[in-house]
């Protein structure tokens, strides 16, 4: 089995770290990007050339089975044992032991000395206290003080404590990282896109416990007839031409409600699995879903890690979460490639994309004031997730109004699921005005011409044209002017505004506005213009002198310029 280039780079980075540093490395590869081949290669090399012993730790049996399968392909001669109650095996004495942490955490001494402890889904290692991972690692280091820990994860952060790699943690340094967008561009992950919906809920009244919305309150919020019926209707509408849809519900009652509505109102079968589903029943449902005989599958917190169904081409988040890791893992079910799969559609009915940001640039903001587990809220201006106690957003300075109960909105998130992913809107222009702009608190900055387009009754979009700049900005301003006017290109901003106000420019009839995920400002990216006006006669019609028009126009503060 040949590794992909980035997988080979990850293996090399781990070896370099182990040679040159005394602490423990972490590898970050997106869900679906193939962490298991990296693990198997490290095991092969550790056992073969280095005559070492390795234990692989994971928390679900699906990950254990994947590791065993990849080891058989990559290193068929390496003796491999499995220690897992769920898989009904407790093998000891092997060069490589693949172990479920729930089964092995009190049995480190039974394994004897091991050289490498490889942790899949390493973000599950708690930052402090005891816990199963920390207990096992501590006991293994008693048996062999020189044992090293290698972590692999797609999400190198925790909601409450931030990055998992810190000097005092089990894992100390990210030695290799590759992103979602990079792997999509290289053709190793499926493209993602979002679709505007009609269902969105307000989570303002939900409480938070241990960094997550209180589960019972989330289920009560989401399990309303109108919301469930609306979401199911959208799911059916948007998945007519799709192969497999995985639905995440907020609880068992809510999930069963979704299943019932899909069956009774839309005539489609939807499977359902939860932690209470018997193992045999669950296995049968998953097999049907993987085979394609079951198109829709709803679950409650059980298919977030270790579940591999590459043909999933729609993920419906019918639940909000404050956990950036859970959000990523849910969306990640659609990352994998599959023949005939063009992309994966993400339907977000819980405001998760806006709450956490694009999956390749997730925003994690924790309350560092030491005041306990304060609920979080979303900044409407920059979409940061911050502690509810803030009245001013620490990210962008937005001032929050006094708390009040907001009505549910009837439109779901249209924010891009990838950073840089854009949405575009087209608007008819009713009026265009031109202004000289001086950047606040920076009198040395060049002047710019602020062009304001009024659309609708009282809604404005702005763009800045940089006649006083040099290089590319000036060249762009010259092209902007020539597209609109037969007058010579102005020498500076003040002259440009004088000419524009005198009628030297073609009117803007229509503009296209682009909003990129992860960026604060909308940008005017295209125009439909009227005819260019004839040349002005000398100075006739020009104002004597342009008054100072810096400051605020239409309530737009000067410091909102995107450069």
Q: How many structural domains compose the chain?
A: 3
Shared-domain flag, residues 162 and 206: no
- Whether 103 maps to a domain, the answer reads yes
pLDDT along the chain (563 residues), means of 10: 91 95 93 90 90 90 84 87 88 89 90 93 81 92 94 80 82 91 90 68 84 90 93 93 96 96 96 92 94 96 83 94 87 92 91 78 48 42 44 57 43 60 82 86 83 80 90 88 94 93 93 76 86 76 40 34 31
Shared-domain flag, residues 28 and 145: yes
Buried b (16+ CB within 10 A) or exposed e, 10-25: bbebbeebbeeeeebb
- Whether 414 maps to a domain, the answer reads no
Backbone angles phi, psi at 134, to 5 degrees: -65, -35
pLDDT of residue 286: 94
- Whether 201 maps to a domain, the answer reads yes
Q: What domain range includes position 527?
A: 422-560
Shared-domain flag, residues 198 and 262: yes
- CA-to-CA separations, 121 to 16, 107, 286, 325, 450, in angstroms, rounded: 22, 20, 22, 11, 49
CATH number for the domain that contains residue 105: 3.40.50.300
Domain boundary among 121, 156, 178: 178
Shared-domain flag, residues 334 and 232: yes
Q: Which residue has the tokens 């972490």?
A: 26
SS (HEC) of 321-375: CCCHHHHHHHHHCCCCCCCCCCCEEEEECCCHHHHHCCCCCCCCCCCCCCCCCCC
Question: Which of 559, 542, 558 is closest to 550 using CA atoms?
Answer: 558
- Whether 405 maps to a domain, the answer reads no
- Whether 49 maps to a domain, the answer reads yes
- Whether 403 maps to a domain, the answer reads no
Shared-domain flag, residues 202 and 235: yes
Q: Indicate the SS3 state at residue 378.
A: strand
Residue 239 to residue 245: CA distance in whole angstroms: 7
Domain boundary among 365, 387, 409: 387
DSSP character at residue 399? B
Shared-domain flag, residues 137 and 270: no
Q: Indicate the SS3 state at residue 509.
A: strand
Question: Which of 333, 511, 490, 522 is closest to 414 using CA atoms?
Answer: 522
Residue 390 to residue 6: CA distance in whole angstroms: 41
Shared-domain flag, residues 204 and 134: no
Left if phi > 0, otherwise alpha if psi is -120 to 50, otherwise beta: which for 551? left
Shared-domain flag, residues 81 and 20: yes
Rounded to 10 deg, the angle between the 225-238 and 252-266 helix axes is 60
Residue 135 to residue 391: CA distance in whole angstroms: 41
Shared-domain flag, residues 265 and 377: yes
Please list the helix, strand and coil fractions of the chain in percent, rounded to the nearest 5, in that order.
30, 20, 50
Shared-domain flag, residues 145 and 269: no
- Whether 87 maps to a domain, the answer reads yes
Question: Which of 460, 443, 442 is closest to 451 using CA atoms?
Answer: 460
SS (HEC) of 111-164: HCCCCEEEEECHHHCCCCCCHHHHHHHHHHHHHCCCCEEEEEECCCEECCCEEC
Residue 317 to residue 332: CA distance in whole angstroms: 12
pLDDT of residue 515: 79
* Token duo for residue 463: 């763009």
Shared-domain flag, residues 354 and 433: no
Global confidence as pTM: 0.64
Residue 496 to residue 356: CA distance in whole angstroms: 42
Shared-domain flag, residues 357 and 383: yes
Residue 223 to residue 140: CA distance in whole angstroms: 46
- CA-to-CA separations, 4 to 7, 38, 69, in angstroms, rounded: 5, 10, 18
Question: Which of 248, 273, 270 is closest to 260 using CA atoms?
Answer: 270
pLDDT of residue 140: 93
Domain boundary among 134, 152, 178: 178
């Amino acid at each position: 089995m040949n590794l992909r280039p980035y997988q080979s780079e990850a293996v090399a980075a781990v070896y370099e770290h182990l040679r040159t540093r005394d602490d423990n490395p972490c590898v970050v590869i997106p869900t679906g990007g193939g962490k298991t081949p990296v693990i198997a290669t490290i095991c092969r090399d550790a056992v073969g050339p280095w005559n070492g012993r390795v234990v692989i730790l994971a928390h679900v049996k699906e990950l254990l089975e994947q590791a065993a399968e990849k080891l058989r392909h990559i290193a068929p001669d390496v003796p491999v044992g499995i220690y897992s109650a769920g898989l009904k095996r407790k093998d000891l004495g092997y060069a490589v032991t693949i172990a479920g942490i729930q089964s092995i955490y009190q049995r480190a001494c039974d394994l004897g000395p091991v050289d490498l402890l490889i942790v899949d889904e390493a973000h599950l290692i708690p930052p402090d206290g005891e816990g199963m991972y920390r207990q096992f690692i501590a006991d293994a280091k008693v048996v062999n003080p020189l044992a090293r820990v290698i972590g692999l994860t797609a999400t190198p952060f925790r909601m409450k404590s931030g990055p998992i790699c810190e000097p005092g943690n089990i894992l100390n340094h990210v030695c290799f990282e590759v992103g979602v967008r990079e792997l999509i561009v290289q053709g190793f992950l499926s493209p993602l896109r979002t679709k505007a919906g009609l269902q969105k809920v307000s989570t303002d009244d939900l409480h938070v416990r241990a960094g997550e919305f209180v589960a019972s309150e989330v289920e009560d919020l989401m399990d309303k007839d109108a919301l469930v019926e609306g979401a199911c209707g959208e799911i059916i509408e948007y998945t007519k031409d799709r192969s497999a849809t995985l639905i995440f519900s907020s609880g068992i009652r809510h999930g069963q409600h979704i299943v019932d509505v899909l069956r009774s109102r839309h005539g489609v079968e939807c499977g359902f699995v939860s932690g209470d589903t018997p193992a045999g029943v669950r296995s049968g449902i998953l097999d049907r879903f993987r085979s394609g005989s079951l198109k829709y599958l709803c679950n409650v917190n059980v298919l977030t890690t270790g579940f591999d169904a590459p043909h999933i081409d729609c993920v419906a988040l019918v639940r909000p979460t404050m956990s950036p890791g859970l959000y990523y893992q849910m969306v990640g079910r659609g990352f994998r490639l599959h023949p005939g799969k063009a992309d994966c559609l993400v339907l977000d009915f819980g405001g998760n994309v806006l709450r956490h940001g694009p999956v390749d640039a997730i925003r994690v903001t924790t309350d560092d004031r030491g005041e306990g587990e304060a609920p979080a809220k979303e900044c409407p201006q920059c979409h940061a997730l911050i502690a509810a106690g803030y009245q001013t957003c620490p990210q962008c300075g937005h001032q929050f109004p006094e708390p009040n109960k907001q009505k549910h909105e009837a439109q779901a998130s249209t924010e891009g699921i990838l950073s840089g992913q854009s949405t575009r809107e087209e608007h008819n222009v009713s009026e265009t005005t031109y202004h000289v702009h001086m950047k606040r608190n920076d009198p040395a900055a060049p002047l710019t011409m602020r062009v304001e387009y009024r659309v609708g009754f009282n809604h404005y979009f702005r763009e800045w044209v940089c006649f006083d700049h040099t290089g590319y900005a000036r060249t762009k301003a010259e092209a902007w002017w020539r597209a609109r006017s037969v007058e010579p290109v102005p020498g500076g901003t003040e002259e440009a505004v004088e000419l524009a106000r005198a009628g030297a420019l073609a009117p803007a009839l229509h503009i296209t506005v682009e909003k990129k995920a992860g960026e604060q400002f909308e940008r005017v990216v295209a125009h439909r213009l009227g005819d260019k006006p004839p040349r002005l006669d000398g100075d006739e019609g020009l104002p004597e002198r342009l008054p100072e028009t810096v400051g605020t126009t239409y309530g737009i503060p000067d410091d909102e310029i995107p450069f």
